């Protein structure tokens, strides 16, 4: 057990001292600024008065381009190619002879990656809120009229729902932390699937390429397949909080189904990765 | 060809007695990827205090064999143990051996010392002072806080050696340890490898393309080509010790040499230069040659025995 903890500790040090997190910081800032601009200009156009910094995060995490492409790909590039890279450079060998077993080595890769998903979402939340403050958002945990889904009938521009309207009295900070945790689960599950893939195909260029390919393929199929069943198999749609809201989409997915979906993907990938790792040449 | 030969040459530093059980003892090891056989019927034994070289051209199967011995890969065929662990099994604990890989990578943002502390911390068998002492031993400054990404290739090699030997494993595998080292570094590496075997009693498996270095440091050298261990060369055995280069004054002397019984002419290095094998002590051979009227210009040991064996093995001319 002490050995496993030491291995995880080393992997955590390695993960969180990587300069790749600077790319994460940059992307968080860019998407935060773009989302703040989008929310600010929309709220002004529909004449709903002010907007809060939490509205920006709520809108950001329902933007497929921001979440599915920019954030997810950045996360995969930061946290999910370590296994392939270690095998390419044979750093895996000098660690594994100390790990004592392949199981322990796999755990030392899987757990830090899952933790990185949480840290990544926390970073995205923090930087987005900071960008929203910079862009003039109100710092208030009470929902704005925009968040409540109110409509100004006299406005020239139709009001849009960027995310599921909230109930009066909702603590927006708690709501956004919850959304971040949900996205952490989704990112960790996707990250684990990618990690398991690199057990079979150890190439450090693969994780980024596969992620972009899958999300792109999913979106293209989504344009052509309008049947409601497709929402059940589409991973990128499930990442969207608003996909679970009857107020935003016609056929909402139950939230429990998405929690089960991501949990099964996470657990299945973890087991599959370990089973493959037992057989492959490292 | 199974090349696990029994040889009578004395092994420098080889231990005997109760600890004589080999660290590595494998037979018939083969590795097949699809229809391609990259390793075939290889046997190898490494004992405590013994330095064994593994030499062959690129793609000969050296790295594949190292992967199998270190538990990173399972052989398609073959049997045996490495540090008492069955090589055919992926279950159970991996053998702990010191492993120095080619082109080593570390946690690039941390210092060499911090890297060692984290690596040694996994097994809990060594601490910060171990990291410090082993860094000194390989010629790196333990107080250097520079991140590894700023290290030269030579420094990386030294750090890689430090991580391999710092926890005092019974078996050390060094894959191209002299890569990127300057001449002084190569000399230091040579004496350190001998020290690991002679003083610390470790078994060492060494691969290198520098044949003179391999010949200088190894007790035995396994020559591998096309995935097969073709032969075992022992720098210390009678055959290797008896190889000499003889330069004579005239073509007539060349003819006279052949008539001297204690000498066997085995090759030619030029019109007046012969490669000979002596059957008696060198002073006696010189006396016999002079007695037969041979005018000797120069005679010295042929240090290129491994080089010749290598060229014969890979079929190059």
- In chain B, which residue's Cα lies nearest the Cα of A91? B105
**Closest approach of B286 to chain A, Cα-based (Å):** 52
Q: Where are the domains of chain A?
A: 2-279
Of B67, B73, B93, the CB nearest to A100: B93
What class has domain B242-314?
alpha beta
| Alpha carbon distance B82, B26 (integer Å) | 8
Q: Does A44 touch chain B (CB under 8 A)?
A: no
Report pLDDT for B6. Answer: 35
Q: What is the CATH number of domain B17-233?
A: 3.40.50.300
Segments of chain B assigned to CATH 3.40.50.300: 17-233
Report pLDDT for A225. Answer: 87
**Closest approach of A75 to chain B, Cα-based (Å):** 19
pLDDT by residue for chain B (317 residues), tens only, comes to: 333 433 333 334 444 444 568 999 999 999 999 889 999 999 999 999 999 999 999 888 899 999 999 988 889 999 999 998 888 876 667 888 999 988 778 999 999 999 999 999 998 877 768 899 999 999 999 999 999 999 998 899 999 999 999 999 999 999 999 888 888 889 999 999 999 999 999 999 999 988 888 988 999 999 999 888 888 888 766 666 667 888 999 988 888 888 888 888 887 777 888 888 887 888 888 898 999 999 999 988 776 678 878 888 887 54
Report pLDDT for A236. Answer: 87
- In chain B, which residue's Cα lies nearest the Cα of A281? B73
**Best of B122, B157, B165 to mutate (most A CBs within 10 Å, chain A):** B122
Residues of chain A numbered 5-24 and touching chain B (CB < 8 Å): 6-7, 9-10, 13-14, 17-19
**Closest approach of A183 to chain B, Cα-based (Å):** 29
Chain B residues close to A95, C-beta within 8 Å: 119, 122
Say yes or no to pLDDT of A36 above 60.
yes
Tell me the count of A-B CB pairs closer than 8 A: 88
Q: What are the structure tokens assigned to A6, written together?
A: 């030491």
Inter-chain CB proximity B99 and A281 less than 8 Å: no
Mean pLDDT (whole number) for A185-204:
95
What does the angle CA A166 – CA A169 – CA A174 come to, to the nearest 5 degrees?
70
Dihedral angle sign, alpha carbons of residues A19, A21, A25, A31:
positive
Spatial CB neighbours of B181, under 8 Å, sequence gap ≥ 6: B154, B157, B158, B189
DSSP code per residue over chain A: -HHHHHHHHHHHHHHHT-TTHHHHHHHHHHHHHHHHHHHHHHHHHHT----BHHHHHHHHTT-HIIIIIIIHHHHHHHHSSHHHHHHHHTHHHHHHHHH-SHHHHHHHHHHHHHHHHHHHHHHHHHHHHHHHHHTT-B--SSPPTTTTT---TT-SSPP--SSPPPPTT--HHHHHHHHHHHHHHHHHHHHHHHHHHHHHS--TTHHHHHHHHHHHHHHHHHHH--STHHHHH-HHHHH-GGGG-TTT-SSPPPHHHHHHHHHHHHHHHHHHHHHHHHHS--
Contact B17, B187 (CB under 8 A): no
Segments of chain B assigned to CATH 3.30.70.100: 242-314
Mean pLDDT (whole number) for A184-206:
95
Inter-chain CB proximity B94 and A101 less than 8 Å: yes
Contact B257, B294 (CB under 8 A): yes
Inter-chain CB proximity A100 and B164 less than 8 Å: no
Tens digits of per-residue pLDDT, A37-94?
A: 999 998 888 878 889 999 999 999 999 999 999 999 999 999 999 899 999 988 999 9
Inter-chain CB proximity B97 and A2 less than 8 Å: no
- In chain B, which residue's Cα lies nearest the Cα of A16? B109
Report pLDDT for B238. Answer: 62
Chain B residues close to A99, C-beta within 8 Å: 94, 122
Chain B residues close to A98, C-beta within 8 Å: 96, 119, 122-123
Say yes or no to pLDDT of A243 above 60.
yes
The contact set of B with A (CB < 8 A) is 67, 70-74, 90, 92-97, 99, 101-107, 109-110, 118-119, 121-124, 160, 163-164
Say yes or no to pLDDT of A25 above 70.
yes
- In chain A, which residue's Cα lies nearest the Cα of B68? A281
Say yes or no to pLDDT of A186 above 80.
yes
């Amino acid at each position: 057990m002490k050995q496993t903890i030491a291995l995880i500790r080393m992997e955590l040090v390695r993960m969180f001292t990587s300069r790749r997190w600077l790319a994460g910081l940059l992307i968080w800032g860019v998407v935060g600024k773009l989302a703040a601009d989008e929310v600010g200009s929309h709220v002004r156009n529909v004449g709903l008065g002010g907007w809060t910094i939490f509205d920006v995060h709520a809108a950001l995490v329902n933007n497929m381009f921001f979440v599915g492409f920019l954030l997810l790909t950045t996360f995969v590039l930061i946290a999910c190619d370590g296994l392939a890279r270690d095998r390419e450079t044979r750093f895996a060998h000098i660690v594994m002879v100390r790990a004592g077993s392949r199981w322990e080595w796999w755990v030392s890769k899987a757990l830090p990656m899952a933790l990185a998903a949480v840290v990544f979402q926390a970073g995205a939340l923090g930087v987005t809120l900071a960008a929203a403050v910079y862009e003039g958002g109100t710092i208030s945990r009470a929902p704005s009229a925009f968040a409540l889904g109110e409509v100004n009938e006299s406005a020239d521009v139709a009001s849009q729902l960027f995310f599921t309207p909230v109930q009066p009295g909702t603590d927006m900070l708690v709501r956004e932390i919850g959304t971040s945790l949900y996205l952490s689960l989704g990112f960790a599950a996707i990250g684990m699937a990618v990690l398991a893939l690199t057990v079979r195909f150890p190439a450090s260029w693969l994780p980024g390429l596969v992620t972009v390919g899958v999300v792109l393929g999913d979106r293209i199929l989504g344009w052509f397949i309008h049947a409601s069943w497709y929402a059940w198999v589409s991973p990128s749609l499930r990442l969207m909080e608003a996909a679970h809201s009857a107020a935003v989409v016609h056929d909402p997915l139950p939230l429990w189904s998405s929690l089960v979906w991501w949990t099964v993907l996470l657990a299945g990938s973890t087991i599959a990765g370990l089973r493959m790792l037992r057989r492959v040449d490292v | 060809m199974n090349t696990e030969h029994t040889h009578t040459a004395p092994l420098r530093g080889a231990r005997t007695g109760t600890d004589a059980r080999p660290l590595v003892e494998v037979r018939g090891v083969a590795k097949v990827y699809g229809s391609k056989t990259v390793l075939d019927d290889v046997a190898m034994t490494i004992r405590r205090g013994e330095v064994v070289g593994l030499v062959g051209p690129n793609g000969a199967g050296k790295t594949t064999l190292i992967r199998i011995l270190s538990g990173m890969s399972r052989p398609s065929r073959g049997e045996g143990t490495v540090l008492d662990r069955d090589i055919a099994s992926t279950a159970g604990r991996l053998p702990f051996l010191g492993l120095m890989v080619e082109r080593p990578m570390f946690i690039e943002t941390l210092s060499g010392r911090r890297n060692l502390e984290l690596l040694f911390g996994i097994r809990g068998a060594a601490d910060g002072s171990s990291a410090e002492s082993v860094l000194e031993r390989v010629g790196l400054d333990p107080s250097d806080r520079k991140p590894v990404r700023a290290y030269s290739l030579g420094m990386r090699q030294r750090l890689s050696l430090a991580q391999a030997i710092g926890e005092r494993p019974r078996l050390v595998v060094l894959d191209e340890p002299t890569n990127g080292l300057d001449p002084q570094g190569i000399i230091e590496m040579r004496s350190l490898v001998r020290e690991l075997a002679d003083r610390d009693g470790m078994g060492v498996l060494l691969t290198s393309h520098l044949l003179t270095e391999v010949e200088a440091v190894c007790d035995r050298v396994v020559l591998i080509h096309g995935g097969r261990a073709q032969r075992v060369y022992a720098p210390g055995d009678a055959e290797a010790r008896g190889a000499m280069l003889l330069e004579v004054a005239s073509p007539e002397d060349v003819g006279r040499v052949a008539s001297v019984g204690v000498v066997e002419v085995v090759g030619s290095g030029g019109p007046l230069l012969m490669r000979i094998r002596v059957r008696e002590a060198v002073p006696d051979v010189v006396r016999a040659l002079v007695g037969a009227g041979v005018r000797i210009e120069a005679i010295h040991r042929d240090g290129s025995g491994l080089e010749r064996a290598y060229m014969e093995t890979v079929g190059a001319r």
